[in-house]
Structure 1
Amino acid sequence: MGYPEKRGTYWRGRYKLADGKYGTVSDETGVVIKFATKREAKQAADAEEVSVRRGERRDPSLGQETFGEYAGRWYAVQDLAASTMQNYRRHIEEHLLPTFADKALSGVLRSDVERWEKAEKAVYAASSVKTWRSTLHLIFEDAIDEGLITSNPAARRRGRGKRAGRSRDRGPEKVVTDPFGALLIAERAALLSGRDDEFVAVILKAYTGMRWGEIVGLETEFARPGTVRVEWQLYELDSGELVRVPPKDDSYRTIDTPEWLSALVADHVARTKPTPCPCHGKAYVFRGQGAARAGGHHGAKLVDVARRASVSTGTVSNVLNHPERVREETRVRVELAIAELGFVRNAAPSHEAAHWRRNGFATWLFQPAATGWYPKKAPQEPRPVPLLGAPWPGVPARGRGASQRADACWLPIAKGLTPHGLRHSHRTLMEDLGTEKVLMDARMGHLDGSVSARYAHVTPGMRQRLLASLTDQWETALAARLALSPTSPVRALNDLLRVRAGAP
């Protein structure tokens, strides 16, 4: 604790700042306070030392480097996975620097951190703010190790603040679905993309619990009869680059797959005949959706012509396809823009997109499949997926006037479900089936550090029971889908329904 020190005719209070270093009680201007009695000096010194321990006082000789300067140095020496480095950079640049950049390290108080956190929670989800505060805490901890500050203002104090129980900072409950819901979502996703890749990928994810990056990064050599080997994943950086990295937390594992699932994946590979991608030189089970030109988009597009001619893209389309519908003056202006830009109609892409993009898949394929609605995208508001009702469950109407031509729409299956929610769904399904925890952890790539886990091991019997149960769930879901309609516009599912119905 603090102590009084006799100085001629007065007493002054001394308190501990760090090991071997002490401060003197002073006023706001830095002038030492002279106390008349020993008791007053002792009380003031004790109060100052308590403030230091709480992170409310700083040694003025330390931490004069600004937070922005130190955060830049701190980030530069980190040597972590590309995904972690990307996340740290986003946390620092977007959420920490706007508030703390110009503050000295020693000038950041606990109250500053609390005010920042409260302001962030007014805009962002509490779970996200918690992650950003953890990064802030880590930076200050390293500053303490370097001797720049003596305490961490971002450290949480136990037993303080609101008494809100477990409901405080509680996020929304994760949405999951059952095998039948996963089957219907997989069918819709394939209808939206116009191919079978999405059907096979969603089913594989729902019955293995693989992470999104592991599905995208699944190479053909690791899709084996009876198993899927998780050896790599593709992680998408903010720049758009997909990097080939080990699975999260080094969760290398071999996942058993039922016979029907292995056959579904094998048939898909045999039909699509994957070739090595230009970015990694590896053959992947699944391709990206849509088309891409080599090296990026080259040459003028329809929208560029429309902007140059100050008309809509629909007017440009009419000039190309129905010039008689366009006024002569407008037609001449559009044709001049086409000539100036060197626009080539129906320029063929040099290759299909090699890989899915997380946002594109989740926003324009998975979410509409799960909810039946397209999300908001300016200038359009959220809207139902326009469908032509036959054949069941409906085929998405495309092109201009799709909403006017549509005669049906989809009902929601699992509103709020995300691609990662299928991983939660798989774990929940295994719990429902009574699967042993050791097998669930091995399948999900989770590490149980408890003592009891050291004495639990996966056995062939456990694996066979789980595969049999997953097959029963699949057969039940397929039978329920067959009861709705004996056919499907999705080729892969249509073949499965025909076999289930006993058709040749």
Structure 2
Amino acid sequence: MGYGEKRKGYYRGRYWIAPGVLRTVVDSNGDTVRFSNKREAAKAANDAEGKVRNGSWRDPSAGKTTFGEYANRWFVEQDLAASTTQNYRHHIEEHLLPHFEEMELASISRSDVKVWEKAERAIYAASSVKTWHATLHLILADAVDEELITSNPATKRRGRGKRAGRSRDRGPEKVVTDPVGALLIAERTALLSGRDDEFVACVLKAYTGMRWGEIVGLEAKFVRRASVRVEWQLYELDNGELVRCAPKDDSYRTIDTPVWLSGLVSRHVARIRPTPCLCHGETYVFRGQGAARAGAHQGAKLVDVARRAGVSTGTVSNVLNHPDRVAEATRIRVESAIAELGFVRGGVVAQHPPHWRRNGFATWLFTPAASGWYPKKVPQEARPVPLLAEPWPGVPERGRNATGRSEACWLPIAAGFTPHSYRHFHKTRMEDLGTPPKLMDERMGHLDGSVQARYTHITPEMRQRLTAGLTAEWEASLDARLALCSSSRVAALDRLLRERLKARR
């Protein structure tokens, strides 16, 4: 049994955790609790000994574990998708450890979390800081469950903090466009790439709402006569690796496609005759951007090699230019990364890489198509896309002094529109067409767990009305495009325009 032991000016509680092993009752900081009388000390000791007997006792000194020690152990114990693991590693290493690493878990207070959050908000976007705060809360919540600490200092208390100025933390309002704008952005993207792949992919994304990873990971065998099956996605990690994994939230689904869209994708597959990629051994509908791309680095970059090898870009440069200055083990690691990524000096690749890269597509093709501007890249400032004026809507000018030789530039269609915005576009169009929520959720890969959703079912008539509505909007956008110009340098669109013009006669 526990007992109270008299000390100079106070009593302390003593209890057994094992034969011959005594412990003292301490508080959450590991300091001895001083009782005013022997009875209170004995009661606290007996309570602690009761926890030892029922298996719920935890060593109070565990609270002295540093955040860095616990976070490293916590991270190793997680069993998560590669993308989530990558994100957690970034949150912990780049934003949590620099501030909390040496702090004992029990010593972290609400004020410490507030000081950290305020410092982060001075540098980074509020939405990013909110994400990192959620990771901190998750880690400390698990520490509470393990009884290493008694409460979670990262828990936000409702009704606290200033009310004024909160609107400044909101992200920018999402940009959407209409069907004509969606078509014109797809055409411009293909003009910048110099091929049809980007046009077909953008139109498919706009009229199915598929996620970017699902478009990149779409295999030819899942393109059907009146539907597209979402079975896999390719998720790009920070090191450049593309991981073949299940769609987000296991949102496997079959998306109905209008006849014209099925034909567009099928003709594209028949034309390019895709072959299995070396990285996954699967045959994909869309290829990466290769030598046809204008004004940007081709294929894997120096930084991609550095990330894969776990070294700096300077070390990669030394391996390429002064290999004698680099340790043999490091040189071998870098050379292996170069071979795996297919890196070629000068950025010239002999053929299309098997898959798109997220940053290359969005930054150098899609964003200029939507906004009419290339982004800033040292030493160049942001600049309009240089064009030859004819034929409409202009031909992107390439090469040295392209700006000096240009005759025109594009006006913005929807500045701020991103590849992901096509999902917002598709949902908005379905809302406008009066599509039932159950069918919208199915196409978007969302899950509605409400009771109402369980009592709603999708009928063939619902599907037919939606595909008919999407077809009507697509044909109206083609008519609007025909009114601007009856031809296009994008072969897939030019064929559609000619077919539409013939059907109208």
Q: Common fold, TM-score beyond 0.5?
A: yes
Name the aligned partner's letter for residue 262 of structure 2.
S
Confirm whether residue 383 of structure 1 aligns to residue 407 of structure 2. Answer: no
In 2, the alpha carbon distance for the partners of 1:295 and 1:380 equals: 18
Matches within 5 A, 1:290-309: 290-291=290-291
Name the aligned partner's letter for residue 359 of structure 1.
N
Confirm whether residue 150 of structure 1 aligns to residue 150 of structure 2. Answer: yes
Matches within 5 A, 1:132-171: 132-164=132-164, 167=167, 169-171=169-171
Name the aligned partner's letter for residue 251 of structure 1.
S
Give the aligned CA root-mean-square deviation in angstroms. 3.3
Name the aligned partner's letter for residue 470 of structure 1.
L
Name the aligned partner's letter for residue 358 of structure 2.
R
In 2, the alpha carbon distance for the partners of 1:132 and 1:356 equals: 28
Other-structure match for 2:332: none
In 2, the alpha carbon distance for the partners of 1:413 and 1:233 equals: 29
Number of residues of Structure 1 aligned to a counterpart in Structure 2: 429
Aligned partners of 1:218 and 1:286 also within 8 Å? yes
Other-structure match for 1:280: 280
Other-structure match for 1:194: 194
In 2, the alpha carbon distance for the partners of 1:279 and 1:25 equals: 52
In 2, the alpha carbon distance for the partners of 1:229 and 1:235 equals: 17
Q: Deviations over 1:305-344 (max 9, x none)?
A: xx99xxxxxxxxxxxxxxxxxxxxxxxxxxxxxxxxxxx9
In 2, the alpha carbon distance for the partners of 1:365 and 1:294 equals: 16
Q: 1:260 to 1:110 in 2, by over 3 A?
A: same
Matches within 5 A, 1:418-457: 418-457=418-457
Confirm whether residue 109 of structure 1 aligns to residue 109 of structure 2. Answer: yes
Other-structure match for 1:218: 218
Determine what percentage of the aligned residue pairs are the same residue. Answer: 68
Shift of 1:101: 1.0
Shift of 1:106: 1.2
Q: Deviations over 1:143-171 (max 9, x none)?
A: 11222111111111111112249736321
In 2, the alpha carbon distance for the partners of 1:191 and 1:170 equals: 35
Aligned partners of 1:12 and 1:24 also within 8 Å? no
Q: 1:69 to 1:347 in 2, by over 3 A?
A: closer
| Unmatched segments (≥5 aa) in structure 2 | 14-22, 37-58, 292-297, 306-316, 322-343
Q: 1:13 to 1:279 in 2, by over 3 A?
A: same
Q: Deviations over 1:1-31 (max 9, x none)?
A: xxxx9x99988999xxxxx9965799xxx79
In 2, the alpha carbon distance for the partners of 1:217 and 1:388 equals: 35
Aligned partners of 2:290 and 2:299 also within 8 Å? no
In 1, the alpha carbon distance for the partners of 2:165 and 2:373 equals: 36
Aligned partners of 1:60 and 1:106 also within 8 Å? no
Q: Deviations over 1:92-115 (max 9, x none)?
A: 111111111111111211111111
Name the aligned partner's letter for residue 386 of structure 1.
P
Name the aligned partner's letter for residue 363 of structure 1.
T
In 2, the alpha carbon distance for the partners of 1:374 and 1:165 equals: 33
In 1, the alpha carbon distance for the partners of 2:345 and 2:157 equals: 65
Aligned partners of 2:227 and 2:262 also within 8 Å? yes
Q: Deviations over 1:180-222 (max 9, x none)?
A: 1110000000000000000000000000000000000000000
Aligned partners of 1:231 and 1:247 also within 8 Å? yes
Aligned partners of 1:106 and 1:149 also within 8 Å? yes
**SS at the partner of 2:86?**
helix
Aligned partners of 1:293 and 1:350 also within 8 Å? no
Shift of 1:32: 8.2
In 1, the alpha carbon distance for the partners of 2:90 and 2:216 equals: 23
**SS at the partner of 2:430?**
helix
Confirm whether residue 393 of structure 1 aligns to residue 393 of structure 2. Answer: yes
In 2, the alpha carbon distance for the partners of 1:24 and 1:489 equals: 75
Other-structure match for 1:70: 70
What TM-score, normalized by structure 1, do the two folds share?
0.79
Aligned partners of 2:205 and 2:422 also within 8 Å? yes
Aligned partners of 2:209 and 2:427 also within 8 Å? yes
Shift of 1:126: 1.3
**SS at the partner of 2:474?**
helix
Aligned partners of 1:212 and 1:419 also within 8 Å? yes
Other-structure match for 2:231: 231
Name the aligned partner's letter for residue 235 of structure 1.
Y
Other-structure match for 1:131: 131
Other-structure match for 1:184: 184
Matches within 5 A, 1:37-48: none
**SS at the partner of 2:243?**
strand
Q: Deviations over 1:386-413 (max 9, x none)?
A: 0000000000000011001000000000
Aligned partners of 2:65 and 2:105 also within 8 Å? yes
**SS at the partner of 1:255?**
strand
Confirm whether residue 270 of structure 1 aligns to residue 246 of structure 2. Answer: no
**SS at the partner of 2:281?**
coil
Q: 1:406 to 1:102 in 2, by over 3 A?
A: same
Q: Deviations over 1:68-114 (max 9, x none)?
A: 11111111111111111111111111111111111111121111111
**SS at the partner of 2:255?**
strand
Shift of 1:486: 0.7
Q: 1:272 to 1:32 in 2, by over 3 A?
A: closer
Name the aligned partner's letter for residue 233 of structure 1.
Q
**SS at the partner of 2:409?**
coil
Q: 1:280 to 1:9 in 2, by over 3 A?
A: closer
